[in-house]
Amino acid sequence: MPSLNPTNYNQIQRPCVIQSVHNLCSKGRLKEAVKSLENLASKGLRLNTRSLAFLLQECANYKSLKEGKWVHLHMNVTGRKRPGTFLSNQLIHMYSECGNWVGARKVFDKMSLKNLYSWNNMLSGSLIDIYAKCGEIHNARNLFDEMPKRDVLAWTTILSAYAKVLDKSHDVDKVLEILASQMEEEEEDDDDDESFRDG
């Protein structure tokens, strides 16, 4: 019979704990699921990355900022103060969906590695919306300009932001002309990159 020292006990109990968190969420009992994290931490257990991502997504779906912050705190307490790109993206999404733009930006700024999803998540999920609503399109544009690579979603988001902010008193045609010119330049750069790789 295997010994029940703490290490073996934790390994045996982990799947049951994860399943119970998932079960609570599937029954619409998000608060209870998140509350159980305190008990896990006190026993030296922590959820795996997929389970944390699942919980963060549930918090985003329910727009439950309080529970989302508890999940983030659990991550910090259990050794994930600097989560990887995947979990950081989940945190940004959760904070954005809950309307906490400052929290989303803090996570984004602490990321050591940002992928295209990180940029688009930040751009479309929070800053564009808040900057556009506040009429601070220049801040959204600065974030857009910082992106190392832009895809269709990024372009659609920035164009939507301009559409929200600009009215008839602004020179909409001039702004669209500048953005269209910039898009063409990026497409030409992408074509040059492709021919270089093929050459």
Whether residue 186 sits in one domain with residue 127: yes
Whether residue 185 is contained in a domain is answered as yes
Q: What is the largest CA-CA distance in the chain?
A: 80
Mind giving me the DSSP string for 70-115? HHHHHHHHTT-SS--HHHHHHHHHHHHHTT-HHHHHHHHHH-SS--
Whether residue 21 is contained in a domain is answered as yes
Whether residue 197 sits in one domain with residue 118: yes
Total number of domains in the chain: 2
Distances (CA, A) of 139 to 97, 130, 134, 144: 20, 10, 10, 9
Whether residue 12 is contained in a domain is answered as no
Whether residue 81 sits in one domain with residue 141: no
Asked if 59 and 73 touch (Cβ cutoff 8 Å), the reply is: no
Whether residue 129 sits in one domain with residue 81: no
**Residue 3, pLDDT above cutoff 90:** no
Whether residue 143 is contained in a domain is answered as yes
Per-residue pLDDT of 9-24, as tens digits, reads 344 345 677 788 888 9
Whether residue 178 sits in one domain with residue 120: yes
Q: Residue 6's pLDDT band (boundaries 50, 70, 90)?
A: very low
The reported pTM is: 0.71
Whether residue 132 is contained in a domain is answered as yes
Per-residue pLDDT of 99-140, as tens digits, reads 898 899 899 999 999 999 998 888 876 756 666 566 667 777
Contacts (Cβ under 8 Å, ≥6 apart) of 31: 64, 67
Per-residue pLDDT of 157-198, as tens digits, reads 888 777 777 664 456 676 777 777 777 777 766 655 544 343
**Exposed, middle or buried by CB within 10 Å (0-12, 13-18, 19+), for 74?**
buried
36, 67, 85 - which closes a domain: 85
Closest alpha carbon to 15 in 35, 40, 38, 34: 40
Whether residue 193 sits in one domain with residue 125: yes
Whether residue 197 sits in one domain with residue 129: yes
- Angle, helix 137-146 to helix 152-165, in steps of 10 degrees: 170
44, 65, 85 - which closes a domain: 85
Whether residue 10 is contained in a domain is answered as no
> Domain range for residue 43?
17-85
CA dist., res. 63 & res. 160, Å (int): 23
Structure-token match 């309307």, residue found = 99
